Amino acid sequence: MKRPSGFIALLLLSVLLSTLPPREAALAADPLTVVAVGDIMMGTDWPEDLLPPRDGAGMFDNVLESLRGADIVFGNLEGPLADSGEGVKCNRKRRAKGGKTLCFEFRTPTRYIKHLESAGFNVMNVANNHTFDFGLEGVESTLAALEEAGIQATGGDNVAAFCIRGKAVAVVGFSYSPPSPHSHSLQDLLSAMEIVGGLKEDFDLVIVSFHGGAEGKDALRVPDADEVDEVFAGENRGNVVRFARTVIDAGADLVIGHGPHVPRAMEVYKRKLIAYSLGNFLTYGRFNIQGSSGASYVLRAEIDLETGNFSSGVIVPVELLDRGIPFPDPEKKAVRIIRELTAERQVEPGLVIGEDGVLTPVAPPEPSSTEQSSPSNRD
């Protein structure tokens, strides 16, 4: 895995910041604030024109306030940014059989990068099953558009690197797809451990993004770590619980998932937050946004910069309307869904989710005096 661009500069900056006077050093105690949203597909002009009104102007306006004030603003870019070429993922037979679409390809014009830039995103995930919809040319066009806008890409060898108050932070992307320079495989757990462990040697904090799991309303519930891998449309989509816990064991400090197109449960594992699916966020024209598929949210998570532990957070509920545009959701449907799914999964409460969406970690109980003095705990 190549070093992320600017890595040496980050290390030098980290050294410089470590010598700051007391006032500035006190700022370093502030937590790392991460804002993360799920799938973003701003419209497509392939195989037919399905672009939003006004060429997408104002698409994010209703939720801009929720995206502000964070160190890292993350989204999953569901499809390439490209202006030419033909789709290579689907053939005509798979696109439409008996009038039903069986395969989807997306091509969003590169000029739409301005909408991501103005919304404040500074890292976009490209490790997903739509990145190669238009082949390598589409990938290269996407990476060039992101770079020109000053938005870092994450996925495979593309590791986003930040220096936050003297701490080096990496964002690395995995998906269920076969490994490539633009995506690590979440199904190869040994490789995932090596990748995250290697990054942890160079960075203070590591954030892992993954694209995996089955899709749709039947995929709301996350299978346990000891269950079989999820399968959707004949594809093995991995066991995301097993993956998430494995990368935390290897050193990850926050794990954020996407791909199922619905919200899923959250978990605090070894004091690290896992969001198993962020759901859809802005998916114009080609996505089902009925029911749970249209219940979305903005995750705001605060991470202790010294320990990497999850300290607090909030689910900001969003609903998709007008063919896939995000709006604040006064009914807080995503909060209700995630609360219920999380409560079902928790054997011992590690995370409390309030009706208002506030996330509060529950510290593990201290060992009793009997446990501390038992023979198995003595040297």
Supply the pLDDT for residue 101: 58
Residues 6+ apart with CB under 8 A from 348: none
Supply the pLDDT for residue 339: 98
Supply the pLDDT for residue 39: 98
Supply the pLDDT for residue 378: 41
Residue entry with tokens 């679409």 = 101
Question: Is the dihedral angle over the CA atoms 210, 216, 220, 222 positive or is it negative?
Answer: negative
Q: Residue 44 carries which DSSP code?
A: B
Query: What is the pTM for the complete model shown?
Result: 0.89
CB 127 within 8 A of CB 120: no
Put residue 28 in one of left, alpha, beta given phi > 0 → left and psi -120 to 50 → alpha.
alpha
Amino acid (1-letter code) at residue 26: A
Supply the pLDDT for residue 22: 52
Supply the pLDDT for residue 370: 55
Per-residue pLDDT of the chain (379 residues; tens, 9 = 90+): 555 555 555 555 554 445 545 545 455 579 999 999 999 999 999 988 999 999 999 999 999 999 999 999 999 999 999 999 888 878 654 554 455 556 889 999 999 999 999 999 999 999 999 999 889 999 999 999 999 999 999 999 999 999 999 999 999 999 999 999 999 999 999 999 999 999 999 999 999 999 999 999 999 999 999 999 999 999 999 999 999 999 999 999 999 999 999 999 999 999 999 999 999 999 999 899 999 999 999 999 999 999 999 999 999 999 999 999 999 999 999 999 999 999 999 877 899 999 999 999 998 766 655 555 454 444 4
DSSP string, 302-359: EE-TTT--EEEEEEEEEEEETTTEEEE-TT-HHHHHHHHHHHHH-SS--EEE-TT-EE
Domain boundaries, the chain: 7-377
CB 42 within 8 A of CB 115: yes
CA distance 107 to 163: 32
> Which backbone phi and psi does 339 adopt, to 5 degrees?
-60, -50
Residue 36 in tokens: 């993360």
Residue 378 in tokens: 């003595």
Work out the angle between the directed axes of helices 240-249 and 189-202 (0-180°, nearest 10). 30
Q: 345, 324, 329: which is closest to 245 by C-alpha?
A: 345
CA distance 375 to 379: 8
Q: Which secondary structure element, helix H or strand E, spans residue 155, and what is its range?
A: none
CA distance 351 to 334: 16
Supply the pLDDT for residue 40: 97
Query: Within a 10 A sphere around the Cβ of 375, how many other Cβ atoms?
Result: 5
Supply the pLDDT for residue 103: 82
Amino acid (1-letter code) at residue 14: S
Supply the pLDDT for residue 15: 47
Supply the pLDDT for residue 347: 76
Query: Within a 10 A sphere around the Cβ of 378, how many other Cβ atoms?
Result: 7
Supply the pLDDT for residue 93: 44
CATH class of 7-377: alpha beta
Q: 198, 42, 19: which is closest to 117 by C-alpha?
A: 42
Supply the pLDDT for residue 377: 47
CA distance 9 to 111: 30
The number of residues in the chain equals 379
Supply the pLDDT for residue 369: 55
Cα–chain-centroid distance for residue 165?
22
CA distance 134 to 11: 36
Residue 107 in tokens: 């091509």
CA distance 361 to 288: 33
